[in-house]
Structure 1
Amino acid sequence: MSSSAEVGFGQSGAVVRVYIANMPPMAEYAGLRQVKPLQKGEIDLINSACGNGWRKVFNVYSKLLFALDAKQFGFTRYAGSWQQYRDQYLLQAGSNTALLFSMPELKAGTKDIHIIAGRTHARALLDNGLTAQLNWLNQEFALDKYQRVLVCPYFDYRQLNNEKLTFLAQLIKTLDE
């Protein structure tokens, strides 16, 4: 078991970390206390058990990875489409991705990207001690460039549509400029 307090799916210590408020309501995850790499096909099991909302989270996450600058991030090298990436790599061991249900662990001097999905979740994290200094760019997006924390709409097509996904990818690119 990892000494980290991070709880979620994917690779512990991932470069791209997305934070959402709730984990899938499945017995398999009720006792989760660490970062668990998903196995091939596990995303489909979650989608089947928990419905369309989770399908949207995984789809939007994969679409975001494919919208990122290919020179900055190499996710597009692993699969021919965001759908293939989702099914074959997303949140699995070695993917360098994580979907976390815990408080962000911010460490200075890293290249980690911390994406908080949803303004309400961001405010709850701040109320619970998150030390990010968020600069709100508009009603939906905020940035702490120094600690590499971004807030965006929840990972749902209606809230984080393609135009907003592109904007988020551009914000992430500016972190290294």
Structure 2
Amino acid sequence: MNLPTYGFGAEQGLLAIYVEHPPKLAEFQNLNKVIALQTGEIDYINQQCGNGWRKVFNVYAKFVAELSHPDHDFTNHPEQYPSWQQYRDKRLLQQGCQEALLFSAPDLAANRYDWHIIAGRTYGKTLLRDHLFTNSMHWIDEEFAIDPVNKLLICPYLDYRQLSNIKISKLVALVRAGAA
């Protein structure tokens, strides 16, 4: 059974990060599919919705940059994206990207993304209880959990205080270890 998938970015790709709620803008309240953001739309969301969404997009871009996945455009086109900020502004969650920010529960059976990352421990535990039936999930500590069989991770929310640079590095290490 396929679950509905909706949010921003690529309909399939290398990774999807799941957050509980979309930006509080009328145009995003009834999403029923994955849409690519338009150039400048991240900045528009930041201006309309405040600092919280700026942090989400910044932390996401920092994660992509540090991950430096060998099949990702950020890694393969350093001349186009010399910094995480430029990647965020020119490509993150936009047409042709390789990642998604989703507001729906992960559909592990659909195999749309190589990695599924749930942002937020409370949200992750709710999804595990209500939607995700996985016997291979184990908690590494209070903030991080991994299911290497389904390539599913739970990490702190995409915020500077919760998912600091040190914790971004830990998340990157978990993805790399799970990919090995």
TM-score of the superposition, structure 1-length normalised? 0.93
Tell me: CA distance 1:89–1:53, structure 2 relative to 1, closer, same or farther (3 Å).
same
- Residue 62 of structure 1 aligns with an amino acid whose one-letter code is A
Partner of 2:121: 119
Q: Could you tell me whether the CA contact under 8 Å between 2:16 and 2:113 is conserved in 1?
A: no
Is 1:158 the counterpart of 2:161 in the alignment? Answer: yes
Partner of 2:172: 169
Q: Deviations over 1:47-83 (max 9, x none)?
A: 0010000000000000000011443644233410000
1:87 aligned to 64, 81, 89, which one? 89
Q: Could you tell me whether the CA contact under 8 Å between 1:22 and 1:101 is conserved in 2?
A: yes
Q: Could you tell me whether the CA contact under 8 Å between 2:68 and 2:75 is conserved in 1?
A: no
Distance 1:140 1:102 in 2: 21
CA drift of 1:94 comes to: 1.3
- Residue 152 of structure 1 aligns with an amino acid whose one-letter code is C
Is 1:66 the counterpart of 2:68 in the alignment? Answer: no
CA drift of 1:165 comes to: 0.4
Give the 5 Å matches for 1:75-154.
75-78=74-77, 79-107=81-109, 112-132=114-134, 133-154=136-157
CA drift of 1:108 comes to: 8.1
CA drift of 1:31 comes to: 1.6
TM-score of the superposition, structure 2-length normalised? 0.91
Among the aligned pairs, what percent are the same residue?
A: 46
Distance 1:84 1:109 in 2: 29
Tell me: CA distance 1:108–1:97, structure 2 relative to 1, closer, same or farther (3 Å).
closer
Q: 3-state SS of the aligned residue for 2:16?
A: strand
Q: 3-state SS of the aligned residue for 2:108?
A: coil
The CA RMSD measured in Å over matched residues stands at 1.8
Unaligned runs of 5+ in 1: none
Distance 2:142 2:161 in 1: 15
Distance 1:41 1:149 in 2: 30
- Residue 38 of structure 2 aligns with an amino acid whose one-letter code is Q
CA drift of 1:91 comes to: 0.3
Unaligned runs of 5+ in 2: none
Distance 1:110 1:27 in 2: 27
